[in-house]
């Protein structure tokens, strides 16, 4: 996989301002620029310095952003959204990219948007020419559902995507964007390193990354990394070039002048998979096949996506497909897909008895079907703890 | 399982000496915890200078003035008569196991046996403490022991730092969801 460094080798890098972008995407893009695009893109802090801006259509407050841009007709604009087709009529002729962003092609798109804007003679304000699209997903349209943890709504969108539910029963073709290829992400390299370390009994490193990541098999496999925790999430969400991340055997993992982070491999792989998944499933997964969690993940470290604890509580006691679990809990499929992806790489998914053609008989729903006028004592404790954490 | 109404609003913290029960309650409680510590005079003295002899007591204050009591049982087995008294009517059990003890898996088995009836009518979550200094046995060894003991569904079991309010709250949240995965915190 080749990185697009610039549309023209002689052109200076595009001055990109992340005008309306979530913190997670900002870190991810920043990391990619630092690693791959220093010759084609440079981040700037203010709109006045920018040649091109990036705007997340799904974030609230976009109207104010468009007003702000009206006075800058020569700035190129690249939009992105979970449902780009819904937004394209509104922002044409400017590009609306899909989420998750394809970071391979983004520099080229930015350069093109910059070049197009430079040719603008008449100052045409970038106001929408069509009304904003009606949100297509009911779950996203209504007030944000309680998250089951303390994630901010913005992070929730970044981490779990905005994928619509799939049909409740098999039969219809599933959209490609429902799946991700683990080999494109850090999680694929980690899985490979863990397999090699476990098979050989020797530590293995992922080479070619800016900092150390390796697996020591020990009696209990441990991941060792010199990345800081706040750097791991954007790294895990970024698609890595094929040439990055070769797995190599090493006699010892460690850096003389640093104190690398040591984490149980199970926790580390859970997190890397959940962050890569963004509400999708690993390629080849069957969302209608009943499976079961063989154990709860270690939620004092493992990333708890929205509703993850509820999902774990139900899925450790019953065999059911991801779609069935979502239906039982009354939550969007993407939250269950996120847990499914994480569990499958952490080794916590029991797939031995599942058969998509014979859906498991589920026990009586534990969910409260008739919501009492006053929340139960358990709900009230839960709310207290949510606020406390 | 008893109805929620039949239970008292109390959560029980139990586990081995030095696992961090008093510390965990202190981390979560909205009041200064009441503790019945006494100078340790037996083998416990090798682990820590004082130990809980009757109970620890903390409170979670809920909106509207309601309270949830947090009770910590004494860790020493000779005070085990307190375990049944304290757990009567409780919502569930948070069990803390000190991984640095000589045989923590046996500790786990002992406590699960002692609270068998209480757990059968409520739920349990397990926090394994001191794993930073004593990484083995790992969580998978605990899970294997839980399977061997026939616990189905498998309880939540996490690495935990009893000093961390986040970790203790996570254990209690898992306990609540175990009791009812349909709970919503809205």
Dump pLDDT digits (tens) for A44-98.
888 888 999 999 887 777 877 887 787 787 889 999 887 787 788 788 888 888 8
Residue range A14-29: mean pLDDT, rounded: 83
Residue A278 has pLDDT above 90, yes or no: yes
pLDDT band at A271 (very low <50, low <70, confident <90, very high): very high
Least confident among A5-14, A360-369, B72-81: A360-369
List of domains in chain A: 14-118 (3.40.50.2300), 144-176+284-383 (no CATH), 182-272 (no CATH)
* ipTM of the complex in this document: 0.87
Cα end-to-end distance, chain A, whole Å: 42
Give the model's pLDDT for residue A2: 43
DSSP structure class, residue A47:
G
Give the model's pLDDT for residue B83: 73
Give the model's pLDDT for residue A376: 85
Tell me if A386 sits within 8 A of A331, measured CB to CB.
no
Give the count of domains, chain B: 1
Least confident among A56-60, A164-168, B131-135, B174-178: A56-60
- Residue predicted with more confidence, A196 or A141: A196
Pairing of strands A204-207, A213-216: antiparallel
- Residue predicted with more confidence, B100 or B185: B100
Inside any domain, residue B5: no
Residue A127 has pLDDT above 70, yes or no: no
For residue A14, list its beta bridge partners. A41
Give the model's pLDDT for residue A144: 34
Cβ contact, residue pair B182, A301, below 8 Å? no
Give the model's pLDDT for residue B28: 94
Dump pLDDT digits (tens) for A287-337.
999 999 999 999 999 999 999 999 999 999 999 999 999 999 999 999 999
Tell me if B54 sits within 8 A of B79, measured CB to CB.
yes
Residue A373 has pLDDT above 60, yes or no: no
What would the two tokens of residue A160 be? 């779990």
Cβ contact, residue pair B68, A301, below 8 Å? no
Give the model's pLDDT for residue A357: 52
pLDDT band at A27 (very low <50, low <70, confident <90, very high): confident
Percent of chain A with pLDDT over 70: 79
Q: Is the Cβ of A262 closer than 8 Å to some Cβ of chain B? A: no
Give the model's pLDDT for residue A146: 34
| Angstrom distance (rounded) from CA A25 to CA A234 | 8
Distance from CA of A103 to the nearest CA of B (A): 35
Q: Is the Cβ of A312 closer than 8 Å to some Cβ of chain B? A: yes
pLDDT band at B48 (very low <50, low <70, confident <90, very high): low
Least confident among A85-99, A339-353, B48-62: B48-62
pLDDT band at A39 (very low <50, low <70, confident <90, very high): confident
Residue B58 has pLDDT above 70, yes or no: yes
Find, among A172, A192, A140, A175, the residue nearest to A281 by Cα.
A175
Find, among B70, B101, B104, the residue nearest to B87 by Cα.
B70
| Angstrom distance (rounded) from CA A306 to CA B175 | 17
Task: Provide the chain A residues 43-82 that lie in CB contact (below 8 A) with chain B.
Answer: none
Tell me if A164 sits within 8 A of A280, measured CB to CB.
no
Inside any domain, residue B120: yes
Quote the mean pLDDT of chain A.
81
Which chain A residues have a beta carbon less than 8 Å from that of B144? Answer: none
Find, among A188, A189, A168, A165, the residue nearest to A178 by Cα.
A165
pLDDT band at A250 (very low <50, low <70, confident <90, very high): confident
Residue range A3-10: mean pLDDT, rounded: 51
| Angstrom distance (rounded) from CA B168 to CA B29 | 10
E strands in B3-136: 10-15, 34-39, 50-61, 67-72, 92-98, 124-129
Distance from CA of B58 to the nearest CA of A (A): 14
Tell me if B70 sits within 8 A of B61, measured CB to CB.
no
Q: Where in the sequence is the domain holding B31, given as residue range(s)?
A: 10-179
Cβ contact, residue pair B183, A329, below 8 Å? no
Percent of chain A with pLDDT over 90: 39
- Who among B153, B158, B169 is closest to A317 (CB)? B153
Give the model's pLDDT for residue A93: 81
Give the model's pLDDT for residue B177: 96
Which chain B residues have a beta carbon less than 8 Å from that of A261? Answer: none
Inside any domain, residue B134: yes
What would the two tokens of residue A87 be? 């937004």
Residue B1 has pLDDT above 70, yes or no: no
Cβ count within 10 A of residue A294: 18
| Angstrom distance (rounded) from CA A197 to CA A218 | 9
The CATH code of the domain that includes B49 is: 3.40.50.300
Q: Is A353 helix (H, G, I), strand (E, B) or coil?
A: coil
């Amino acid at each position: 996989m080749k990185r697009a460094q610039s549309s023209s080798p002689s052109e200076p890098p595009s001055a990109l301002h992340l005008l309306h972008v979530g913190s997670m995407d900002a870190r991810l893009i920043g990391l990619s620029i630092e690693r791959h695009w220093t010759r084609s893109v440079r981040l700037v802090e203010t709109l006045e310095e920018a040649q091109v801006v990036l705007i997340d259509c799904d974030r609230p407050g976009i109207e104010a952003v468009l007003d702000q841009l009206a006075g800058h007709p020569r700035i190129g604009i690249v939009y992105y959204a979970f449902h780009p087709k819904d937004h394209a009529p509104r922002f044409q002729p400017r590009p609306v990219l899909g989420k998750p962003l394809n970071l391979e092609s983004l520099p080229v798109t930015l350069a093109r948007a910059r070049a197009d804007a430079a040719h603008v003679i008449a100052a045409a304000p970038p106001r929408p020419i069509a009304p904003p699209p009606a949100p297509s997903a009911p779950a996203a349209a209504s007030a944000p559902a309680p998250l089951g943890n303390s994630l901010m709504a913005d992070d929730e969108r970044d981490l779990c995507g905005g994928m619509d539910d799939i049909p409740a029963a098999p039969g219809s073709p599933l959209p490609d964007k429902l799946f991700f290829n683990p080999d494109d992400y850090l999680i694929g390299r980690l899985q490979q390193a863990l397999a090699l370390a476990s098979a050989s009994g020797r530590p293995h490193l992922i080479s070619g990354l800016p900092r150390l990541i390796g697996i020591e098999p020990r009696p209990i496999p441990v991941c060792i990394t010199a990345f800081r925790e706040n750097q791991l999430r954007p790294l895990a969400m970024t698609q890595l070039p094929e040439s990055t991340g070769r797995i190599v055997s090493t006699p010892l993992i460690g850096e003389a002048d640093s104190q690398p982070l040591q984490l149980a491999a199970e926790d580390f792989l859970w997190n890397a998979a959940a962050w890569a998944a963004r509400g999708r499933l690993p390629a080849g997964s069957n969302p209608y096949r009943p499976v079961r969690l063989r154990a709860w993940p270690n939620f004092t470290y493992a990333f708890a996506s929205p509703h993850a604890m509820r999902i774990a509580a139900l899925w450790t006691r019953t065999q059911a497909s991801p779609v069935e679990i979502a239906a039982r809990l009354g939550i969007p499929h993407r939250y269950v897909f996120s847990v499914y992806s994480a569990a499958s790489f952490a080794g916590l998914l029991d797939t031995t008895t599942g058969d998509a053609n014979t859906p498991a008989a589920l026990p009586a729903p534990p969910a409260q079907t008739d919501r009492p006028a006053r929340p139960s004592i358990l709900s009230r404790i839960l709310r207290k703890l949510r606020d406390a954490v | 399982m008893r109805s929620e109404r039949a239970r008292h609003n109390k959560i029980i913290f139990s586990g081995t000496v030095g696992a961090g029960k008093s510390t965990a309650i202190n981390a979560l409680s909205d009041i200064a915890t009441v503790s019945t510590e006494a100078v340790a005079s037996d083998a416990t003295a090798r682990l820590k200078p004082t130990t809980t002899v009757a109970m620890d007591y903390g409170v979670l204050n809920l909106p509207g003035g309601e309270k949830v009591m947090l009770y910590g049982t004494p860790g020493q087995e000779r005070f085990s008569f307190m375990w049944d008294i304290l757990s009567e009517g409780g919502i569930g059990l948070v069990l803390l196991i000190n991984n640095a003890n000589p045989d923590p898996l046996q500790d786990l088995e002992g406590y699960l046996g002692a609270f068998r009836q209480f757990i059968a009518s409520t739920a349990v979550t397990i926090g394994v403490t001191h794993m930073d200094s004593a990484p083995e046995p790992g969580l998978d060894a605990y899970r294997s022991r839980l399977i061997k003991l026939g616990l189905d569904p498998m309880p939540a079991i996490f690495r935990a730092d009893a000093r961390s309010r986040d970790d203790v709250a996570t254990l209690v949240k898992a306990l609540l969801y175990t009791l009812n995965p349909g709970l919503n915190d809205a």
